[in-house]
Amino acid sequence: MKANSRFKKAGYVLFMAFLLAGCTANGSEATTLNTPTPESALHTDTVVESVSSEPSRTAEIELSASLLIGESDIGKIYARENKLFAKNKEGVLTEIGRLDSDKFSAALSEDGGRILYNRVEHKGTSTQTPCELTLLDLQSGQETSLSRDDQVEPCHYFGWLGNHVYVQWNEYPSPFAGDTSFTVFDGRNGEQLESGRMYQYLEDDQTRIVLLHSNISFEDRDGLEVNIRIAALTKDGALHLLWEQPVYEEQFRDIQLSKTLGAMAIWTHHLPTNTARLWMASVDLKHWSSGEWTELEIKPSSEAGRISFEEEGFVVFSDGRRFQLP
């Protein structure tokens, strides 16, 4: 009887071992549920996919509640809960960028190779937002900071102009002409290309009339004069030079372009001599080129002022003075 009892116990142990082995096999098969869901199911409210490229990046996101940023070199880019994800052709989702960093206001470059985002969230109703801007290369995964002096600072707007990054540091229009400063960065490597001040924004064309700071350092300048350029910065990131002069201690009171007249005017004030000048020229808006510039010496004004083209054929100053266009 005892032998028979031992035989039954041994059989029971073998039977349980077989069941446990079966459970283990079923458990390993359950991991295949992380395979990509068909594209047609991605827009249902119940779809959840696993992010499975690297173990440290594994997470679950609900694509129906995610924001599609755009189509990139590595697949579709989604934003979800301050993180960014790429879905490749095989349907695998991967979190991109630094795992320890939140990503706000993400925007994809025109060529689909890079993402621009802010590490800091914009809260409140202020037009200014703290900016810690970062450029993420989608192929290499390399991230480049675009913040000046590597510090968080307020900015008014940032985005892509073609494949360049445009950052506007304060609001437009500003209380005084030319008080709106900006920087243009190379969208490939984050290198600063240009900086300056914006005087006018042509909303229909998404074109900015800007004064560009000299790109020659003070140590490398030949003499005291500074070469100043005035250009049209178009929505594709191109700069079209309209005016260029070496100047010394010259204030640019206002710079304005009239689309209807196809003309441009520049009002300057020379501090050492307390003299003023008005520059006028025609502008070809199709090719963004200027004609011959006419220079007039005019009476200086102690007040800051503005230029308008309220009267057809005339440049009108805010103090009432008017000058006929050449």
| pTM more than 0.75 | yes
Q: Is the predicted pLDDT of residue 295 greater than 50, yes or no? A: yes
**Is the CB of residue 228 less than 8 Å from the CB of residue 212?**
yes
Quick one: pLDDT at residue 264?
A: 98
Of 3 and 219, the one with more pLDDT: 219
Quick one: pLDDT at residue 149?
A: 61
Of 123 and 60, the one with more pLDDT: 123
Q: Is the predicted pLDDT of residue 171 greater than 70, yes or no? A: yes
Query: Residues 55-69: what's their mean pLDDT?
Result: 68
CA distances from 72 to 24, 108, 114 (A): 40, 8, 8
Dihedral angle at the C-alpha atoms of 175, 181, 187, 193, nearest 10 degrees? Answer: 150
pLDDT category at 129 given cuts 50, 70, 90 is confident
pLDDT category at 312 given cuts 50, 70, 90 is confident
Quick one: pLDDT at residue 286?
A: 93
For every residue of 117-130, which 3-state class applies, written as one string?
Answer: EECCCCCCCCCCEE
Write the pLDDT tens digit of every residue in 15-38: 444 444 444 433 332 222 222 333
Counting residues of the chain whose pLDDT is more than 90, the rounded percentage is 63
Which region among 122-126, 128-132, 201-205, 238-242 has the lowest average model confidence (pLDDT)?
122-126
Quick one: pLDDT at residue 183?
A: 95
Q: Is the predicted pLDDT of residue 200 greater than 60, yes or no? A: yes
Contacts of 44 (CB under 8 A, 6+ apart): 64
Closest CA to 200 of 188, 192, 208: 208
Of 108 and 304, the one with more pLDDT: 108
**What one-character-per-residue DSSP string does 30-51 give?**
HGGGGSPPPGGGTTSTT--EEE
SS3 236: coil
Closest CA to 93 of 53, 44, 45, 38: 53
**Is the CB of residue 155 less than 8 Å from the CB of residue 164?**
no
Quick one: pLDDT at residue 191?
A: 94
Which region among 51-55, 186-190, 192-196, 271-275 has the lowest average model confidence (pLDDT)?
51-55
Number of H helices, E strands in the chain: 1, 27
Of 191 and 60, the one with more pLDDT: 191
Quick one: pLDDT at residue 92?
A: 87
